[in-house]
Copies of this chain bind each other. A is one copy, B any other.
Amino acid sequence: MTANPTAPILNLASDNVSGMSQPVLAALIAANAGPEPAYGTDQWTGKAEALLSTIFEHEVSVFLVATGTGANALALAAMSPPWGAIFCHSEAHVLDDECGAPEMFTDGAKLVGVPGVGGKLTVAALAPVVEHFTPGVIKSVQPAALSISQVTEAGTIYTLDEIRALGQFGQQHKLMFHLDGARFGNAMVSLGCTPAEMTWKAGVDVVTFGATKNGCMACEAIIFFNKAHAEAMPYRRKRGGHTVSKGRLLGAQMVGYLENDHWIDNARHANAMATALTEGLKTIAKVKLPWLTQANEVFVVVPKTASARLAQAHIRAAPWGSTSLPEGFSIGQDEQFLRFVTSFTTTRQDIETVLQTIAG
């Protein structure tokens, strides 16, 4: 099959438009040969689990699945009863972009959105919302979990101090703490910290460790730092249809992704491309950046003349909307809010092309 004639020349709308990076593909090809036992008992999955324990400096319970929505929904189901409240940002992916998957997998828990500038939760904003739900009062769903996205929906990043503060708040209110790491690598590289520092050392109980966007084809890990929390997960995963029978598909991708710090290289590259794009955008008149680029996403307001030029050049960004813009930041009638996402496949030439097209 040849290049897709209807596809954009340059698609920066999301980081799910690329295939696998070479080491991931190579691992999958290697894993394809020979028999392997099924349902995650293969050697590749075993290797992936061991690598994750090493990388997180903690014995972890790992559940590989093929989709981020599945991973998040299963993770939250392990953290909240059906009558629980799960607190997250009002624009969180789990709240707004998964067609109610968390409600399905939790059997009806309530996701409670809390607003915050730049897609970020703060303890100050959370506290009154959480305290509205009184433990023991039966009319009220019961506070159960806290979920943040790192990188956030707005492309921003929580500092370690911010995560720790949320972790402490969660502990005080007996909330399990979930980190949706669809872009875990990009966040970590941006912070310059270890996986452990960004998670269990900061109070996180469960991580959705995304690998798909940053080099795999379809691979996410649900990671528990406390085995007791994961006890029912084998049944939940199977029952959700997320236990892949030829489990090597997932194991091999994750091994190729993790070995030799490949995932870190990919994240570093994507972040660098986003930074280059941001730096370039800053130099273009009439272009406005609501938030600092901190990982591999660039949110930008451009004149509609510029977005028209992008369309004409078959360059795709995602039209965006947000209610978490900084105070005073507004978008005019003749302006367009866009999201660009870079990935391991983005080149400096791509960035140049985008910048030149916007500059006009």
Minimal beta-carbon separation of A49 from chain B (angstroms): 14
Minimal beta-carbon separation of A347 from chain B (angstroms): 12
- Establish whether residues B66 and A66, one from each chain, have CB atoms under 8 Å apart when the complex forms: yes
A8, A71, A101: most-surrounded residue (chain B CB, <10 A): A101
Q: Is A16 an interface residue (CB 8 A)?
A: yes
Q: Interface segment, A155-163, A173-181, A234-242, A280-288?
A: A234-242
Q: Interface segment, A136-144, A261-269, A304-312?
A: A136-144
Name A108-163 residues within 8 Å CB distance of B. Answer: 108-111, 132, 138-142
> Which residues from B are CB-within-8-Å of A47?
1
Number of interface residues of A (CB under 8 A): 85
Copy number of this protein in the oligomer?
4
- Establish whether residues A25 and B29, one from each chain, have CB atoms under 8 Å apart when the complex forms: yes
- Establish whether residues A104 and B11, one from each chain, have CB atoms under 8 Å apart when the complex forms: no
CA distance A142 to B212 in the complex (A): 26
Q: Which residue of B lies closest to A140 (CB)?
A: B99
> Which residues from B are CB-within-8-Å of A328?
none
Name A317-340 residues within 8 Å CB distance of B. Answer: 321
Task: Give the interface SS of chain A, mostly helix, strand, loop or mixed.
Answer: loop
- Shortest 6 CB-CB distances between A and B: which pairs? A70-B241, A19-B32, A103-B108, A83-B235, A107-B107, A69-B241
Q: Which of B7, B11, B43, B98 contacts A43 (CB 8 A)?
A: B7
- Establish whether residues B240 and A3, one from each chain, have CB atoms under 8 Å apart when the complex forms: no
Q: Is A193 an interface residue (CB 8 A)?
A: no
CA distance A81 to B234 in the complex (A): 13
Minimal beta-carbon separation of A86 from chain B (angstroms): 11
Q: Is A260 an interface residue (CB 8 A)?
A: no
- Establish whether residues A100 and B82, one from each chain, have CB atoms under 8 Å apart when the complex forms: yes
Q: Is A59 an interface residue (CB 8 A)?
A: no
Minimal beta-carbon separation of A132 from chain B (angstroms): 8
